[in-house]
A and B are shown apart, each in its own frame.
Chain A
Amino acid sequence: MAFPNLVPTSRSFESGDYPVKTFKAQSGAETRILYGDKRTNMKLSLTYSNITDANAALFLIHFDSETTGTFSTFEIADNTRLGWAGHKRDLGAANSGNRWRYESAPQQVQVRPGVSTVTVNLIGVLT
């Protein structure tokens, strides 16, 4: 089962960084060494407010049976970026050779019978 193709109600994205090691001398001079040519460690936080329990369960099932928790990587659905007018590569991980994995388990909050809010935190990792 693929990542649920639902439109989030809120989304935040951190674009990660290139693998840079910074050294600082006692004089204050800074030296940086670039260890790679691919940006990584981007973070994507998605909130799906007031969705049906059936849709909320899709995330729990995906986390459990598809990705083995935080172990396996995957691609996200296009609807995850809906509302973003820029290029989808700028709000993604694949362009830098990354794939998404769960940074933590999906959080499900029961709002009322049959209605839940789910928060999903993803992190981009080089594969």
Chain B
Amino acid sequence: MAKVYSGRDGTMQVNGSTLAKVISFSVQSSLETLETTTLGENLRSYSPGILGYSGSATLLYYKADNGSINTSSLLNKLVKTGTAGVSSSDTVVLTFRWNDGTDNNDIKMTAYVTSASIGAATADLARAEISFVGTGALSAVSI
């Protein structure tokens, strides 16, 4: 059956668990191009370079009935104690899903969280914003 997807059909997972209270997410893929135009030519030409993935997401800061915070698995990758900083094990597996009943259209990647912010404002909901960059190949694509 034909379908136009909306925000209601979107979900975001971290390490296989669906995040609650996601306001928005976006995923970008970008290809670096290497110019191969030479002297004497009038039109630009390119060779494909490196392909990469990145994106961002905004979540409400939300505590579930069991006391867990929905943003912990993402914010804790950058906002943490200790002097070790970020290591190569600090990746997350992100899945972005557009759902139509039992039909899931996914983009799945391993990513580093590259920025994380959380704030509070008078007369507004507390929300967290994260940016991420994918490392390696996508592990699943069905869009």
**Which residues in A have some Cβ–Cβ distance to B below 8 Å?**
7-11, 49-51, 82-84, 111-112, 115
Q: How many residues of B contact A (CB 8 A)?
A: 11
Instruction: Give 30 A-B contacts (CB < 8 Å), ordered by A residue.
Output: A7-B38, A7-B39, A7-B40, A8-B38, A8-B39, A9-B35, A9-B36, A9-B39, A10-B39, A11-B39, A49-B34, A49-B35, A50-B36, A50-B47, A51-B36, A82-B38, A82-B39, A82-B40, A83-B38, A83-B39, A83-B40, A83-B41, A84-B39, A111-B34, A111-B49, A112-B34, A112-B49, A112-B50, A115-B47, A115-B49
**Which residues in B have some Cβ–Cβ distance to A below 8 Å?**
34-41, 47, 49-50
A84 to B40, alpha carbons, bound, how many Å? Answer: 7
Q: Is the interface of A mostly helix, strand, loop or mixed?
A: strand
A-B contacts, CB under 8 A, total:
37
Q: Is the interface of B mostly helix, strand, loop or mixed?
A: loop
On whether the beta carbons of A115 and B39 are closer than 8 Å, the reply is no
